[in-house]
Structure 1
């Protein structure tokens, strides 16, 4: 996260303007800079957090309440919370065994076997990896189903949004503002409705046209975001360097596999590795005994959370395998060589 010293010039601009929230100049600048990162003409609209952004996107797409929302079981619980807040019921479907994400053709085939009417689909980009939106745009065109991509951790790898795409700006993400997120879309009408849903249903006046929320970002949060964007080239370089150090330090531990392209073509704020099948529990315990923390970022799968026990789920063998064979390692932009080596040595020891 940016330092107070780095943010100060933006805070001084806020003082000079005396505009503190409600789509001020900082927010307009932040959204323009976020949208400019996309390859094709795209609009970006911010929200209070990524979960709110997913929920409001489903509402903006008029996803029919009470229907099923197709999503991977291999995801963070926020995906399911967002669907429920939008009046939908999560339907957990298994992911591809190679990519670890939903496959559009598999979803298309499963629609005929859905345990009820389907209202929307949320594909998830796992742990920041790139996700091709084109198959999901085709699914939307062919079926008419609303599709929102949950790319919460994919700030570095998202470059197109033919269907609405959510990116989180939480403090744990590679570009963070504390709490925040944004939706990217090539559809101006969708963005207009989404923006109104973040602001009481107002559309350029003070008339509430439909039930909505208050999910705006303040100018102070946008000041942090603008500073983080200023620093992004150096922040990204630091993440890449740390990732490559981890890769090199584990060259002689072939049982550990990184996500394809991680630290080479793209980066994120987490390091999630694949381990020998079923090894996560033992490795986690060994690392803990050596004083090295780790994370099962998505637990045993979203479908295992008590909050979603009532939700329908497909047969999920790939999700179950991933839950028992992946682990998040310590990883941060300013991680030094000694820390990298300590993690690598502890992991090698854990794997015997």
Structure 2
């Protein structure tokens, strides 16, 4: 996260403008800079959180209330919460065994098993991994099912936005504002609808034009995000350098498999690895005994959570396998050499002894 000194010039601009929310100058500047990263015709609309951004993206589709929305169970619970908050009916489906993400070609077959007509689908960029944008564009044109992407951790890997993509700016993400998010999309009218949905349905007057939310980003959050963007190149390099160190140290430990392209072509704020079946619980216990914590970021899948246990779902063999073979290791942009060596040394020791 940016330092107080780095944020201060933006805070001084807030003091000068005396505008603190409601699409102030810093928010507008941030939206322009976020959109410019992708394409000349891209639009970015900020929100109070990544979850709110996804809710707005779904609401902006203007689907019938209760319409079925397919989503992976292998995701953070915010994805499912967003579907329900948008007034849609979640239907959990399985992901591809290799990518840990929904496969657009496979999903065309899966739709035939849905509990009703699927009107929307949410591909999730697993831990920030890049999406098959072309495949999903073809899926949408072939099926008529609207695509909204949960790209919460994928700020770095986004290169285009042919459909709405919701990104998180939470403090745990690679580009952080403390709390916040944004949606990128290619359509001016859709972006305007997003903006209205984030502000009570207002559009130049005090009359609510539609059922909406209060999900605006404040100028203070925009100040932090703009400062984070100022230093993004150096922050990204730190993430990449740490990823290189982990990869090199574990190159002779084939039991630890990194995500495809992680740290090489794209970065995120987490290190998620695959390990052999049967080693998850022992490895967690071994590292814990050595005062190193780990994370099962997505648990056993959303469909197992009490809040969603009664919702419709397809068979989940790949999700169940991923839950048993996926682990989040300690990782941050400022991880030093001693921390890398200690972690990787323990991993080497565990798999040599097991």
TM-score interval, normalised by the smaller of the two chains = over 0.9
How far the C-alpha of 1:110 sits from its partner, in A, is 1.3
Partner of 2:349: 349
How far the C-alpha of 1:141 sits from its partner, in A, is 2.1
What secondary structure does 2:339 align onto?
helix
Map Cα deviations across residues 136-194 of structure 1 (whole Å, 9 max, x no partner). Answer: 22222222222100010011100111010011100000000011010000011111111
Partner of 2:287: 287
Tell me whether 1:48 sits opposite 2:48 in the alignment: yes
Contact map agreement 1:58 1:146 (CA 8 A) in 2 = no
Partner of 2:144: 144
Partner of 1:120: 120
After superposition, residues 96-245 of structure 1 pair within 5 angstroms as 96-245=96-245
What TM-score do you get using the length of structure 1 for normalisation? 0.98
CA spacing shift, 1:63–1:279, aligned 2, 3 Å: farther
Write the distance in 1 (CA, Å) between the matches of 2:106 and 2:205: 44
What secondary structure does 2:231 align onto?
helix
Write the distance in 1 (CA, Å) between the matches of 2:17 and 2:87: 40
Contact map agreement 1:282 1:350 (CA 8 A) in 2 = no
Write the distance in 2 (CA, Å) between the matches of 1:260 and 1:136: 19
Write the distance in 1 (CA, Å) between the matches of 2:315 and 2:151: 24
Contact map agreement 1:95 1:103 (CA 8 A) in 2 = yes
How far the C-alpha of 1:134 sits from its partner, in A, is 1.9
After superposition, residues 3-152 of structure 1 pair within 5 angstroms as 3-152=3-152
What secondary structure does 2:282 align onto?
helix
What TM-score do you get using the length of structure 2 for normalisation? 0.97
Q: Which moved more, 1:129-138 or 1:156-165?
A: 129-138
How far the C-alpha of 1:19 sits from its partner, in A, is 1.1
Map Cα deviations across residues 49-89 of structure 1 (whole Å, 9 max, x no partner). Answer: 11111111111101222122111111110000000111122
Contact map agreement 1:63 1:146 (CA 8 A) in 2 = no
Write the distance in 2 (CA, Å) between the matches of 1:279 and 1:31: 44
Write the distance in 2 (CA, Å) between the matches of 1:116 and 1:203: 34
Contact map agreement 1:258 1:273 (CA 8 A) in 2 = yes
Contact map agreement 1:72 1:94 (CA 8 A) in 2 = yes
Q: Which moved more, 1:22-31 or 1:109-118?
A: 109-118
How far the C-alpha of 1:40 sits from its partner, in A, is 5.0
How far the C-alpha of 1:41 sits from its partner, in A, is 1.9
* Structure 1 spans left out of the alignment, 5+ residues: none
Map Cα deviations across residues 314-344 of structure 1 (whole Å, 9 max, x no partner). Answer: 1111111110001000000010000001111
Extract structure 1 runs of 4+ deviating beyond 4 A.
Answer: none
Write the distance in 2 (CA, Å) between the matches of 1:96 and 1:59: 27
What secondary structure does 2:328 align onto?
strand
How many residues align? The count is: 352
After superposition, residues 194-343 of structure 1 pair within 5 angstroms as 194-343=194-343
Map Cα deviations across residues 108-129 of structure 1 (whole Å, 9 max, x no partner). Answer: 1111221122231000010001
